[in-house]
Chain A
Amino acid sequence: MPYSKELVEDLKKKAQILRRDAIISIGVGAAGHVGGSCSSAEIVACLYFHKMKHDPKNPKMKDRDRFLLSKGHVAILQYAALAECGYFPVEDLKNTKKIDSYLQGHPDYLKTPGIEAGTGSLGQGLSIGVGMALGVKLDKLDSKVYILCGDGELQEGQIWEAAMAAKIYKLDNLVAIVDANKLQAQGAIQERYDIYPLAEKWKAFGWHVIEIDGHNVEEILAALDEADTVKEQPTVIIAHTIKGKGISFAENQPGYHNRALTEEEYNKALAELS
C-alpha cells in the first residue's frame, strides 16, 4: 500500500474522534443516530481529512470537492468532521438539535457552513449529486462529488433513477459510497427487504464497482484513488461496515439506529472510543 503509516494511523484516530464527537452531540437521554454514525466514521474521516480538496475558511471555494450525506440522519457525523476541520467550533456540536442551533437534526443548506444541499428524505442525495456533477462539469471545474448513501436507503427507487442518469451522463466525477452496514431501522436488511446482490446491481446499471472493508483506512484510500482513474463512468464504493462500530454494546444492534443513551451507556461509549 502506498499510504504512509503516519497517515493511516492519523486517519484511524480521526475516525475515533468523529465517533466520540458524535456521541457527545447525541448526549444523554435524547435520541440520536448512533449506529449509522459509527459505521461511516472511517469513510468520512478519509474524505474530510485526506482525500477532499476543500477549505474550511472558504466553504464555497469554486473548485472544491463536494461531499453530500444522502443518509442525512447521521448529520452529527458530518458536523463532527466539519467542526474538526475548522468550519465551526467543536464546542458547538453539543448544541445539535437545540431550538436555536445552526446544527439541525438533518443537514441544512442555509444554516450550516459546509453543507452542500439539504438531505433527510432518503434516496434523493444521489440525484442531487448527479446535478452537482453536471454543474461542475459545465463549469469545467476539476471537482469530485462524493455521495454517502446507506444500504437500507437503496430501497428507495430514486437511487436507481439517479444510477441510470449518472451512467448516461458518463459522470466520472461522481463517486457514490454505500455504507453497507446490513441493517435498517427495523432490522436486518436481508430479512426486512432484501436488496442483494448489490455489486451486480450497480454493475448492471453501468457503474464501476469497488468493494472494500469500510473500516479499513488503506482500503478506503485505495478505493477513492482508484475512482480517480475511472473515465466516462461513475464509481460506487460498496463499503462493508459494522453498524455501531467501536461501541461494543451497539455493534450490529438495530436497536441503536436512533436511540437515546443512558448515562451509563454514554460514559461506556466514550470510554471505549478514547
Chain B
Amino acid sequence: MGYTNQRIAYGNTLVELGKENKDIVVLDADLGGSTMGKLFEQAYPERHFEVGIAEANMLSIAAGLAVTGKIPFANSFAVFASGRAFDQIRQTIAIGKLNVKVVGSSAGLSDFGDGATHQSVEDMAIMRAIPNLVVISPADANETVEATKAIAEYHGPVYMRLNRNDYDNVTPEGKPFKIGEPTVLKEGSDEVVFATGYTVGLALEAAKALENEISVKVVNVSTIKPINEARIVELAKDCKGVVTAEEHSVIGGLGSAVAEALYKSGKPIEFVGIKDTFGRSALNYQELLDYYGITSDNIVNAVRKINSL
C-alpha cells in the first residue's frame, strides 16, 4: 500500500485480488510493462494472456473468457482501449452485459511525450455513450486500489481510465469505493467544483487558494457513468454555480455528464478541460497541463467568473 501511481496501484491490487479469486484473468496487448499487467503475469502466468499488438482481438477474447465465467481485465492505453476496440466492447461486451473490465491507462494527457496519437482526450465520452457500461475515473492511487476491488466485485462491463504519472494522493487510503457515489472532499457553500482524476487535486488547491474569498465545495466524481444525477443535483443545490474539471475534452466527459444532470437547475456552469482539440508532445507532464489549461489557476478563474455573475 501507499502507492503514488495509479498504474502501480492497479497492477498490485490485481495481484492481490487474483490470489483469492481464481476467476480473475488478465489480458495485455504488448503494453503489460506499462499497464502493470506484467505484475499479474509474473504472479499467475497461467491466468495472464498476452495477445500481441491486437487490441480488437484482445477485447473479443476477453468477451469469450467472460462467457465461460472468468473475470477478464483487459489492459491497454486508454486511447487504444476505447478507440481500436470500440466495436468489440460495444457489440459483444456491452450489449451482452459481459463481466469484462476494460482498463485504459496513460489516459488524458498523462502520456505527455507521445503526443496526440497516444493522448486520450475523448475516451470517457466514447465509453460513456455506450449503454450498459460503467465508466470509472479514480482521483489518485489510493482510490484506484479501492476502485479496482469494487469493479472486480461488480458483475458487468466496466471501463476504468488511469493516469500514467506519479502524484500525491488526495483521497484517504483504504476507503471502500462505491460505484456511482460522488464524494465530498471539502465542504463549501458558495460554489461547487465537480472534478475527476488528476484534476481533483487541482480543485482542492483552487479551493484553498480561494478560502478567504469564496467558499468552494470540492466533489470527487470518480464514477462518470452512472453519474448519480440526484446526488449531483443535491450537492449543487445551495450553491450559486458549478465548475467541472477534467483532463479530457470538454465534450462528452464529466462536464457534459454534470451539465446533463443539472440542466433543469438553471445554474451557471463553467467547464475546465481540453477545448475540443487533440494533445501534443511535451517534455514533461506539467508543461502539457499548463498548455491546455488543466490547472488550479484556471479552476480559480472559473469559480471567480461564476461568483461575479
**A135 touching B68, Cβ below 8 Å:** yes
A138–B22 Cα distance when bound, in Å, is: 10
B residues 93-113 near A (Cβ < 8 Å) are 95-98
A265 contacts the other chain (CB 8 A): no
Residues of chain B with a CB closer than 8 A to A131's CB: 60-68, 72
A131–B56 Cα distance when bound, in Å, is: 13
A8 contacts the other chain (CB 8 A): no
User: With A134-B49, A135-B69 in contact, is A161–B54 under 8 Å at CB?
Assistant: yes
A231–B52 Cα distance when bound, in Å, is: 23
A residues 164-193 near B (Cβ < 8 Å) are 164-165, 168-169
**A118 touching B57, Cβ below 8 Å:** no
B25 contacts the other chain (CB 8 A): yes
Residues of chain A with a CB closer than 8 A to B52's CB: 161, 164-165, 168
Q: How distant is B63 from chain A, measured CB to nearest CB, in Å?
A: 5
**B96 touching A138, Cβ below 8 Å:** no
A119 contacts the other chain (CB 8 A): yes
B20 contacts the other chain (CB 8 A): no
Contacts A/B (CB < 8 Å), 10 sampled: A108-B95, A109-B95, A119-B91, A121-B91, A127-B56, A127-B88, A128-B92, A135-B65, A158-B56, A168-B52
User: With A136-B68, A139-B68 in contact, is A124–B96 under 8 Å at CB?
Assistant: no
**What 9 additional pairs, Cβ within 8 angstroms, besides A121-B87, A158-B54?**
A108-B95, A117-B63, A117-B98, A124-B88, A127-B88, A128-B67, A130-B60, A134-B65, A139-B68
A120 contacts the other chain (CB 8 A): yes
**A118 touching B91, Cβ below 8 Å:** yes
**B61 touching A134, Cβ below 8 Å:** yes
B261 contacts the other chain (CB 8 A): no
Residues of chain B with a CB closer than 8 A to A109's CB: 67, 92, 95-96, 98
Q: How distant is A155 from chain B, measured CB to nearest CB, in Å?
A: 15
A158–B64 Cα distance when bound, in Å, is: 14
A118–B67 Cα distance when bound, in Å, is: 10
Residues of A within 8 A of B (CB): 108-110, 116-121, 124, 127-136, 138-139, 158, 161-162, 164-165, 168-169
Query: Smallest CB-CB separation from B93: which chain A residue?
Result: A118
**B57 touching A132, Cβ below 8 Å:** no
Query: Smallest CB-CB separation from A117: which chain B residue?
Result: B67
A109–B100 Cα distance when bound, in Å, is: 14
**A128 touching B95, Cβ below 8 Å:** no
User: With A109-B67, A117-B67, A164-B52 in contact, is A128–B25 under 8 Å at CB?
Assistant: no
Residues of chain A with a CB closer than 8 A to B64's CB: 117, 127-135
Interface centre among A118, A128, A131 (most CB of B within 10 A): A131
**B91 touching A124, Cβ below 8 Å:** yes
Interface centre among B62, B63, B70, B98 (most CB of A within 10 A): B63
Q: How distant is B93 from chain A, measured CB to nearest CB, in Å?
A: 9
A119–B92 Cα distance when bound, in Å, is: 6
Residues of chain A with a CB closer than 8 A to B92's CB: 109, 117-119, 124, 128
**A165 touching B68, Cβ below 8 Å:** no
Residues of chain A with a CB closer than 8 A to B65's CB: 131-132, 134-135
Residues of chain A with a CB closer than 8 A to B186's CB: none
Residues of chain B with a CB closer than 8 A to A129's CB: 64
Partner of A138, one of B47, B60, B91: B47
A161–B51 Cα distance when bound, in Å, is: 9
A135–B92 Cα distance when bound, in Å, is: 16
A110–B98 Cα distance when bound, in Å, is: 10
A169–B61 Cα distance when bound, in Å, is: 12
Partner of A127, one of B46, B60, B69: B60
Query: Smallest CB-CB separation from A157: which chain B residue?
Result: B56
A124–B25 Cα distance when bound, in Å, is: 20
Query: Smallest CB-CB separation from A158: which chain B residue?
Result: B56
Residues of chain A with a CB closer than 8 A to B47's CB: 138
**B95 touching A127, Cβ below 8 Å:** no
Q: How distant is B114 from chain A, measured CB to nearest CB, in Å?
A: 23
B residues 4-21 near A (Cβ < 8 Å) are none
**B68 touching A162, Cβ below 8 Å:** no
Residues of chain B with a CB closer than 8 A to A108's CB: 95-96
Chain B, 189-202, contact with A by CB distance < 8 Å: what is the 0/1 string? 00000000000000
Q: How distant is A218 from chain B, measured CB to nearest CB, in Å?
A: 31
A109–B51 Cα distance when bound, in Å, is: 24
A156–B108 Cα distance when bound, in Å, is: 30
Q: Which 10 A-B pairs have the closest CB atoms?
A: A131-B64, A135-B68, A127-B60, A109-B96, A161-B57, A131-B61, A132-B64, A128-B64, A161-B54, A131-B65
A109–B95 Cα distance when bound, in Å, is: 8
